[in-house]
Structure 1
Amino acid sequence: MGEERSRLSFLVGFGLALQFLTALPIKASFAWNEQSGKWSLRCYPLVGVILGSLLALQAYGLLHQQTVPLEMVAFYLVTFSVVFTGGLHLDGWMDCSDAFFSYRDRAKRLEIMKDPRTGAFGVLSVLFLLSWRTLFLYEVIKLNPEAAPFIFFAIPILSRISMGWMLVTAPLSREEGMAYSMRQMADRRLRFFYGVVALLLVGVAVLWHHSLLGGSLLLAMILFFLLSKRFFTVAFGGINGDTLGALTEGVESWLWMISWLLLCFVMG
């Protein structure tokens, strides 16, 4: 009975994670309670595994076909990633940009983040974010098409791990909203769980013969996580749903830049 209840909690938590982090048309209604909430948080990296696997398989097929221009491959895979998530994290990125570049006090910034309208700074920031990511992605697949599938696999996982870590460890900007609700389901063991998943990813990198890439991407993610945690605390007084989305998008673009730097100047 205990195993069956645990299995059911996992399935419900996994369904909740898919509904929250993706645009997959899952119409079922899942109960949000202590057990399903905890499993939902544990499934964040698994959602990254699904997205990463889909991107890696498509990248492998398109790059080995050698008939599709690399520019089109890069643009398509960035588009696929955005469609898969429904643009949810990009919305958080734009809200954070509008709030931060308003140069108001914390209270006003948090009020701006609640505004459903998107301002000029949000539009400009997302254009730069996706443009630079597409450029770095294009350069990576051009420099090393053999390593590209692993990078496509790893980055979505690392970005979801960073989201989970941030949710568990950072102060909250307000005691309401999505991040607050999820924080109630989190416990300290989750940070170690995410750490184990990150180390398993490095193990996959070793088996994939990309140990330097895997280790470097993990360290780069940790650095970005620490800097972002400090930034969110100073700028907004802590984290909320928008900052978690912004973190996910920021980590992905940052890691694509790091991948390009590694392939261009270290492994080239």
Structure 2
Amino acid sequence: MEDDSYFEDEEFSIMRSLLGLLTFSTILPINVYTSIEYMTKLTWCWPFLHIFVGILAAICGYVSLEFLHLNVFFTAVIVYAFLMLITGYNHLDGVMDMSDGVMVHGDAERKISVMKDSSVGAGGVASLFLVASLTIAGLNNLLDYNLILGIVVCEMAAKTSLITTALLSKPLNPGIGSYFIKETNATKYLISTVLVGAIAFLLCGFVGIIGVLGAIVGGSIIAKIAKRNFVYANGDVLGMSNEVGRLFALLFMVIALFFV
């Protein structure tokens, strides 16, 4: 998320900007590009775009269970692999880079330098393993409860986590991540989150709302960690928030399902 020469500069168009945002965050063959300034104006819409990604992942899980007759764990792994593939592994480097920056000793400048370093340390590898393993475990538990629509909610909520972090963070310039942070304000965030909560309720009832709450908690925690270690946030921090937000949404939904 650091090279804005990837985008073309042109007149603002809502549809083109939405499709550009989807092009940016997936490998879907849309191939619609727009300027980073125009695209990030619609950051608050990002969760709704990923409803479609979540639906595709849920279909993948349904086919695995009902037609291929794979067990729940194998299906959970396939769903997670599908989500990573369709999003182009877009946020996994953020998990590793932010973890490396947090783990290193030193002041904020030193930590930011390590976070931006292209090499990956033990902290980054271990964090990626933990986040991936726990996410798969969450998907496995969700499917145990036959709540396959929860996959749609957790993917949508992952982006709510990301914009929660963006709202609570100061941008680290330069970088594409800074554009997303600057364009996220309280009004846009509130509108986005209320609509996400309503959709989650329609899909999964009270459990869906709990999942969105989990993503908000996850995004808030990442923002707090970033502020303490780096003062500022960049694309790597937002990437970490996305993956942790998905995990926290799953965690909260699974806990809620136990009590429902």
The interval holding the TM-score normalised by the smaller chain is: 0.7 to 0.9
Deviations 1:142-200 (A, max 9, x none): 2x12x2x221010111111221232234222x221112233444454311221232232
d(CA) in 1 for partners of 2:68, 2:45: 35
1:1-268 correspondence to structure 2 within 5 Å: 9-34=13-38, 36-39=39-42, 41-65=43-67, 67-142=69-144, 144-145=145-146, 147=147, 149-172=148-171, 174-205=172-203, 210-263=204-257, 265-267=258-260
2:8 aligns to what? none
d(CA) in 2 for partners of 1:257, 1:184: 30
d(CA) in 2 for partners of 1:221, 1:185: 20
Whether contact under 8 Å (1:37, 1:185) holds in the other structure is yes
Alpha-carbon distance change, 195 to 67 in structure 1, aligned in 2, over 3 angstroms: closer
Alpha-carbon distance change, 8 to 178 in structure 1, aligned in 2, over 3 angstroms: closer
Whether contact under 8 Å (1:21, 1:47) holds in the other structure is no
Amino acid at match of 1:11: M
Gaps of 5+ in 2: 1-10
Alpha-carbon distance change, 120 to 80 in structure 1, aligned in 2, over 3 angstroms: same
Deviations 1:86-122 (A, max 9, x none): 1121110000111111122210110111111111211
Amino acid at match of 2:218: F
Q: Percent identity?
A: 21
d(CA) in 2 for partners of 1:183, 1:73: 35
Whether contact under 8 Å (2:170, 2:181) holds in the other structure is no
1:255 deviation in Å? 2.0
When Rg is computed on C-alpha atoms for both structures, the one with the higher figure is 1
Alpha-carbon distance change, 137 to 105 in structure 1, aligned in 2, over 3 angstroms: same
Runs of 4+, deviation exceeding 6 Å:
none
d(CA) in 2 for partners of 1:232, 1:31: 27
The SS at the match of 1:117 is coil
Deviations 1:12-32 (A, max 9, x none): 211221232112344444234
2:4 aligns to what? none
Alpha-carbon distance change, 243 to 80 in structure 1, aligned in 2, over 3 angstroms: same
d(CA) in 2 for partners of 1:101, 1:230: 15
Aligned length: 250
Deviations 1:208-233 (A, max 9, x none): xx322112112222222322222221
Alpha-carbon distance change, 184 to 214 in structure 1, aligned in 2, over 3 angstroms: closer
Alpha-carbon distance change, 251 to 31 in structure 1, aligned in 2, over 3 angstroms: closer
Normalising by structure 2, what TM-score? 0.86
Amino acid at match of 1:13: S
Amino acid at match of 2:101: A
Whether contact under 8 Å (2:170, 2:233) holds in the other structure is yes
The SS at the match of 1:167 is helix
d(CA) in 2 for partners of 1:194, 1:167: 13
